[in-house]
Amino acid sequence: MLQLYIGNKNYSSWSMRPWVLLRQAGIPFEEVKVRFDSFASGSSFKQAIAGVNPVGKVPVLVDDGLAVWDSLAICEYAAERFPDKQLWPRDAKARARARSVCAEMHSGFSALRNHCPMNIEASLPQIGALVWRDQPAVREDVQRIVAMWSDLLEQHRGPMLFGAFSVADAFFAPVCMRLRNYALPVPGHVTDYIRRVCALPGVKAWIDDALEEKDFVEFDEPYRTAR
């Protein structure tokens, strides 16, 4: 069986992407959670993950001794390994666009990621209001996301970005968490899409598990001193 190494579900946005993809697609896997304690070289986290990933990061997918790391590489591997699951859109042009927006997420939106780190358990609308007021780069990131999602939802007529659930929705699920928990202003149809993503069984299962962790990792909490 596949093994997927992940970090804390409350904080680890990159772990969330392949986990949600596999779960929502009904692909069996064993979850191996490695708790964040520190990212220093001698930390328990680094020591635990170093045996499967030379980069020392999560997520990592292990399939019969083969380790695949980086969330986008894992999603591509899963799509090739399980072609019947149609993890990318069937249409070639839609598939190319889906890969483009996933790559854009993978390498971009750094302001949103840095100023609004994923924290599923926390409700941070006051922080979101300050970030929105003081960080023009965050406003630009959200403007781009809204334009992208609006175009895709209109073109493919929802309910997901490319009609049916795909890698793209898994990749943007952590963005949905950020927009929701920091209450960043987005139009109604984008809010509706966020609600639909949160209601997906795979996403809901991740959220429920995150809420059950009841773990407070201080270095992942820039806005709080306690849970």
Q: Quickly state the pLDDT bin for 158 (edges 50, 70, 90).
A: confident
Q: State the CATH class of domain 2-85.
A: alpha beta
Q: Are 168 and 79 in contact (CB under 8 A)?
A: no
Residue 125 to residue 168: CA distance in whole angstroms: 26
Query: Would you tell me the crossing angle of helices 167-181 and 71-81 to the nearest 10 degrees?
Result: 140
Q: Tens of pLDDT along 94-127?
A: 999 999 999 999 999 999 999 999 999 999 999 9
Domain boundaries, the chain: 2-85, 92-207
CATH 1.20.1050.10 matches 92-207? yes
At 135, is the pLDDT very low, low, confident or very high (cuts 50, 70, 90)? very high
Q: What is the per-residue pLDDT across 31-87, written as a single tens digit (0 to 9) for each?
A: 999 999 888 888 989 998 988 998 999 999 999 999 999 999 999 999 999 999 999
